[in-house]
Amino acid sequence: MDRSDPLLTGKAKAFSVKSDFAHWGVLYGVSGLFALICAVFLISIVVSSLPAWRHSGLSIIYGTTWSQGTDSFGALPIIAGTLATTAIALVFAIPIGLGSALAIVHLLPVKARIFASSLVELLAAVPSVVYGLWGLLVLAPWFENTVQPALADLSGHHFPFPPPYEGVGLLLAGCVLFVMILPMIVALSRDAIAIVPREQFEGALSVGATKWQVLRKVVLPAAKTGIVGAVTLATARALGETVAVALVIGLNPLFPHSLFSTASTLASTIALQFQDATPLQVSALGALAVILMALTAIVNWLGRRLIRRSATKAALL
Binding mask 31-50 for another protein (x = CB under 8 A): x-xxx-xx-xx--xx-xx--
Under rule CB under 8 A, residue 294 binds another protein: no
> Cis (ω within 30 of 0) for the bond into 127?
no
CA distance 200 to 234: 28
- One-character DSSP codes across 62-78: H---EETTTTEE--HHH
| Phi, psi (rounded to 5 degrees) for 72 | -100, 120
> Taking Cα atoms as reference points, which of 144, 137, 145 lies closest to residue 167?
144
Helix extents (H) in 195-249: 198-206, 211-214, 220-222, 224-240, 243-248
Mark the segment that binds another protein (CB under 8 A) among 1-9, 57-65, 253-261, 287-295: 287-295
Q: Which of 267, 281, 284, 291 is in the footprint of another protein by CB under 8 A?
A: 267
CA distances from 279 to 74, 256, 272, 290 (A): 17, 28, 15, 16
Give, as ranges, the residues between 142 and 161 that touch another protein (CB under 8 A): none
Q: Which of 61, 76, 96, 254 is in the footprint of another protein by CB under 8 A?
A: 96
Number of residues that bind another protein (CB under 8 A): 86
Quote the strand ranges of the chain, DSSP E.
66-67, 72-73
Q: Which of 233, 254, 306, 307 is in the footprint of another protein by CB under 8 A?
A: 233
- Nearest distance, CB of residue 197 and another protein, angstroms: 19
Q: Cα angle at 217 between 211 and 220, to 5 degrees?
A: 90
Q: Which of 1, 7, 58, 125 is in the footprint of another protein by CB under 8 A?
A: 125
Q: Which of 181, 239, 249, 263 is in the footprint of another protein by CB under 8 A?
A: 239
> Taking Cα atoms as reference points, which of 262, 257, 266, 120 lies closest to residue 181?
120
| Phi, psi (rounded to 5 degrees) for 173 | -60, -45
Beta bridge mates, 73: 66
CA distance 100 to 90: 15
Q: In terms of CB distance, is 297 or 313 closer to another protein?
A: 297
Under rule CB under 8 A, residue 212 binds another protein: yes
Q: In terms of CB distance, is 258 or 296 closer to another protein?
A: 296
- Nearest distance, CB of residue 316 and another protein, angstroms: 27
Q: Which of 57, 99, 164, 197 is in the footprint of another protein by CB under 8 A?
A: 99
Give, as ranges, the residues between 46 and 85 that touch another protein (CB under 8 A): 47-48
CA distances from 266 to 34, 84, 162, 240, 298 (A): 27, 12, 25, 8, 15
Under rule CB under 8 A, residue 114 binds another protein: no
Give, as ranges, the residues between 172 and 211 that touch another protein (CB under 8 A): 179, 182-183, 186, 210-211
- Nearest distance, CB of residue 258 and another protein, angstroms: 23
CA distance 264 to 83: 10
Q: In terms of CB distance, is 112 or 150 closer to another protein?
A: 112
Q: In terms of CB distance, is 64 or 300 closer to another protein?
A: 300
Under rule CB under 8 A, residue 122 binds another protein: yes
- Nearest distance, CB of residue 207 and another protein, angstroms: 13
Under rule CB under 8 A, residue 274 binds another protein: yes
CA distance 72 to 54: 13
Q: Which of 102, 172, 173, 196 is in the footprint of another protein by CB under 8 A?
A: 102
